[in-house]
């Protein structure tokens, strides 16, 4: 199994290893943070020193380390704006106030922010990946339960499942998100952030994330239910009969015989659902979470830079490619018997 994997992907693995080695070399050659900071002008140094004893600090120091390249920006607000930017790459520090280096610096900064580096887990690409992955897992589990309910012979049970699916597919996710985050706590008298410890400074984001996960999961469950149902119903009737003839009950038949065979047929559709959720994740802007799309839109409006969309697209493509690979592996694993 293991050797098969290496054999099958030998070219890709070699390419990945080469890229990794190059990156590590570049990372080692990259100038250190202190070196980057040592280039700041005397005026700026003076401002920073003044800040030490001031209760209202004025200098914003940004340091973005993107493994192979780093970027530092120092700026002040107020009537007289001072701003200095530096990019560090392969042992050299470049001023990044103009030209190519300015764009490079911006790219590093935008990518850094969209990846959510230096922020909590509920931010940027981390938020997008976390929310999407958990939503799809939640959705598939819930979808399986709903699908089994829907094909059940018990009228009330299948009716209930149908109503659920109808409701969640027939209303916009954005409104469901609003209802879960604003309406439910408003009516029931609780706050999402109170689920987490009061001393947790990130509780507000965790609370919003929980609400988002619930809304996304409930919604995805409805879509996954149809995926699971059609997969189950595509399994040959003979399988049910064989299981029954061997004395298996419904639960044993489903969990040991039918669902494992359905998994392979679900994968392509679940993979699609994953990509849909990945894009829908940008709706979390409505409950003040920042995913990749929201951050890139913010940068666009606050800095007027349209270049921000290039790293945004690249980040999305990398995520999609990575998870596409994972789904491919799962599908292969489940179709080994064919």
Partner 1 sequence: MSDNYEYILKTEHVSKRFGTLEVLKDINLQVKKGEVICIIGPSGAGKSTFLRSLNQLEKITSGKIFIKDELFLHRENDHTVDRLLREKQQELLLEMGMVFQRFNLFPHKTVLQNVCEAPVIVRKENKDEVEKRARDLLEKVGLSEKADEYPSRLSGGQQQRVAIARALAMNPEIMLFDEPTSALDPELVGDVLQVMKELAESGMTMLCVTHEMGFAREVADRVLFMADGIIAEEGTPEEIFTNPQAERTKNFLNAILEA
Partner 2 sequence: MKKRFMALMCASIATLGLVACTSETGSGTVPETTETEAAETDSTEATEAEGMETEETDVQEAPASAIDLSGVTLKSDGVLSVGCEVGYPPFEDFADDGTTPIGYDIDIITAVADKLGLEVNIINTAWDGIFAGIDVNYDVVCSAVTITPERQETMLFSTPYINNYQSVVLLADDDKTISSFNDLDGMTIALQKETTSDILMSDYKSTGTIDIQIVANEKVTSCFTQLQNGEVDAVVVDSTVADGYINSSDDFVIAYKDTAEAEQFGIAMGKENAALQAAINQALAELEEEGYIQETYDYWFGAAAE
Tell me: does residue 239 bind partner 1 (CB under 8 A): yes
DSSP labels, 1-44: -HHHHHHHTHHHHHHHHHHHHHHHHHHHHSPPHHHHHTTS-HHH
Please tell me whether residue 297 binds partner 2 under the rule CB under 8 A. yes
C-alpha to C-alpha distance for 133 and 126, rounded to whole angstroms? 11
User: Measured from the CB of residue 259, what is the shortest distance to partner 1 in angstroms?
Assistant: 10
Strands 83-89 and 92-95: antiparallel
Tokens of 302: 């606050």
Task: Identify the residue among 298, 320, 331, 334 touching partner 2 (CB under 8 A).
Answer: 298
| Strand, helix or coil for residue 88 | strand
> Is 163 among the residues that bind partner 1 (CB under 8 A)?
no
What does the buried/exposed string (b/e) look like for 80-99 if buried means 16 or more CB atoms within 10 Å of the residue's CB?
A: eeeebbbbbbeeebbebeee
Give yes or no for residue 304 binding partner 2 (CB under 8 A). Answer: yes
- C-beta closer to partner 2: residue 189 or 238: 189
> Smallest distance from the beta carbon of 30 to partner 2, in angstroms?
24
| Number of shown-chain residues binding partner 2 (CB under 8 A) | 38
| Nearer residue to partner 1 within complex by CB, 54 or 252 | 252
Told to check if 174 binds partner 2 by CB under 8 A, we report no
User: Taking the complex as a whole, how short is the minimal distance between the CB of residue 304 and partner 2, in angstroms?
Assistant: 6
Q: Does 51 bind partner 2 (CB under 8 A)?
A: yes
DSSP state of 307: G
Q: Which is nearer to partner 1, 219 or 253 (CB)?
A: 253
Q: Does 337 contact partner 1 by CB under 8 A? A: yes
Q: Give yes or no for a contact between 308 and 296, defined as CB atoms under 8 angstroms apart.
A: yes
Pick from 248, 275, 276, 330: which binds partner 1 (CB under 8 A)?
248
**Which residue is listed with tokens 């419904």?**
250
Nearest to partner 1 of 91, 260 (CB atom): 260
Q: Read out DSSP for 55-71?
A: SS--EEEEEEE-SS-EE
Does 58 engage in binding with partner 2 (CB under 8 A)?
A: yes
Shortest distance in whole angstroms from residue 290 CB to partner 1 = 43
Q: How far apart are CA 223 and CA 136, in angstroms?
A: 10
63 scored as a contact of partner 2 (CB under 8 A): no
The answer to whether residue 246 forms part of the interface with partner 1 (CB under 8 A) is: yes
191-230 residues in contact with partner 2 (CB under 8 A) are 191-194, 201-205, 207-208
Q: Which of positions 79-108 make contact with partner 2 (CB under 8 A)?
A: 79, 81
In the complex, what is the shortest distance from the CB of residue 150 to partner 1, in angstroms, rounded to a whole number?
Answer: 23
User: Cβ contacts of residue 203 below 8 Å, gap of 6+?
Assistant: 193, 194, 195, 196, 197
List C-alpha distances in Å: 32 to 17, 37, 63, 205. 25, 9, 11, 32
Q: Which is nearest to 121 in space by CA: 209, 8, 26, 15?
A: 209
CB of residue 73 to partner 2, shortest distance in Å:
10
Interface contacts to partner 1, rule CB under 8 A:
236, 238-239, 241-242, 244-248, 252, 256-257, 260-261, 334, 336-338
């Amino acid at each position: 199994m293991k050797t098969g994997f290496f054999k099958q992907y030998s070219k890709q693995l070699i390419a990945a290893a080469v890229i990794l080695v190059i990156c590590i070399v570049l990372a080692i050659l990259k100038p250190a943070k202190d070196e980057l900071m040592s280039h700041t002008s005397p005026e700026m140094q003076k401002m920073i020193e003044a800040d030490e004893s001031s209760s209202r600090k004025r200098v914003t120091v940004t340091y973005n380390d993107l493994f192979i390249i780093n970027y530092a920006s120092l700026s002040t607000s107020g009537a007289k704006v001072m701003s200095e930017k530096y990019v560090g790459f392969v042992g050299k520090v470049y001023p990044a106030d103009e030209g190519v280096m300015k764009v490079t610096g911006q790219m590093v900064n935008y990518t850094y922010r969209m990846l959510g580096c230096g922020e909590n887990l509920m931010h940027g690409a981390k938020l997008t990946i976390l929310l999407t992955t958990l939503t799809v897992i939640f959705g598939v589990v819930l979808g399986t339960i709903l699908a089994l309910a829907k094909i059940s012979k018990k009228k009330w049970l299948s009716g209930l499942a149908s109503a659920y699916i109808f409701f969640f597919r027939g209303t916009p996710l954005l409104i469901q998100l609003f209802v879960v985050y604003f309406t439910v706590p408003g009516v029931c008298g609780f706050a999402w952030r109170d689920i987490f410890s009061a001393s947790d400074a990130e509780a507000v984001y965790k609370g919003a994330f929980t609400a988002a996960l619930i809304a996304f999961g409930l919604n995805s469950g409805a879509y996954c239910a149809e995926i699971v149902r059609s997969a189950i119903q595509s399994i040959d009737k003979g399988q049910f009969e064989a299981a029954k003839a061997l004395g298996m009950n419904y639960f044993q038949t489903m969990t040991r015989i039918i669902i494992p065979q359905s998994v392979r047929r679900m994968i392509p559709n679940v993979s699609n659902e994953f990509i849909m959720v990945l894009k829908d994740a940008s709706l979390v802007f409505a409950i003040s979470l920042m995913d990749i799309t929201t951050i890139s839109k913010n940068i666009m409006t606050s800095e007027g830079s349209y270049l921000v969309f290039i790293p945004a697209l690249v980040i999305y493509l990398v995520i999609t490619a990575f998870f596409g690979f994972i789904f491919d592996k799962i599908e292969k694993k489940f179709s080994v018997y064919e």
